Amino acid sequence: MTKRVIWIIVIILITGYFINNYLENKAKKEAEKTETERIEKDRKEAIAQLVKRTNAVDNWEKDLNKGKQFRLEPILTVELERLWLTNRPILFIGDIKDIATIDEKTYRVKMERSSFIGTELQLILQCQKQTIDTFLKEHPDLFKDYDLKNGVAVIAEIDEIETKTVSGSEGEKEEIKVGKGKCVDILYRGDVHLTHNKSLKRDEAKSTP
């Protein structure tokens, strides 16, 4: 067997290896994408069922942003009052920032909304201890990769709204609107930040001429 033939065989084997490796990686990525899309679809359907069952208001953010993706101008308390202080609970999707004990049956749960508007939104809710303990037991990794897997959907009855002023990273004053009330139900939402970023990119692509 000549050296030329040997080199041809070697090149064919190397090329075949890289092609096979590429096809395997492509199939793996497509399978992961399909599974991610399935999980995302299942979670959205679960939240939709939760909203339907509790008759919750789930379009308040769209009304608050006047149909736009961003809202940079400050939010007036009266705007939130019209949307949150009704005879229906609201759907609030965000992160759990803290859990504290009120008494042997009740927790105080602090939640924060992923920032897509100029004013930060928070909820401070009284939740049944048994409900939260069960939820945390079902999702033991909730705080393991903080700000990555911490997204939850909560149905909340809001009783009052207050405004807090805090100092920003550069010393500027920032407003936080805090809704206080009771937790009706809670559902794991998952990677809420990445989901919002993907949605934002899709919306930006659609709006690009």
> In this predicted model, what pLDDT tens digit does every residue of 147-203 receive, in sequence order?
445 688 999 999 999 998 887 667 677 888 999 999 999 998 875 443 333 333 333
Q: What is the pLDDT of residue 207?
A: 36
Q: How far apart are CA 148 and CA 151, in angstroms?
A: 7
Provide the residue ranges of all domains of the chain, joining segments of one domain with +: 1-54, 56-207
Question: What predicted TM-score, i.e. pTM, was given to this entire model?
Answer: 0.71
Q: What is the pLDDT of residue 209?
A: 37
Mean pLDDT of the chain, nearest integer: 81
* 9 Cβ contact partners less than 8 Å away, ≥ 6 residues apart: none
Q: What is the pLDDT of residue 191?
A: 57
Q: How far apart are CA 209 and CA 202, in angstroms?
A: 13
Q: Which CATH architecture has domain 56-207?
A: Beta Barrel (2.40)
**Which of 18-22, 38-42, 200-204 has the lowest average pLDDT?**
200-204
Q: Has residue 121 got a pLDDT over 50? A: yes
Number of other residues whose CB lies within 10 A of the CB of residue 3: 7
* Ranges assigned E (strand) in 44-172: 90-103, 106-113, 120-128, 151-167
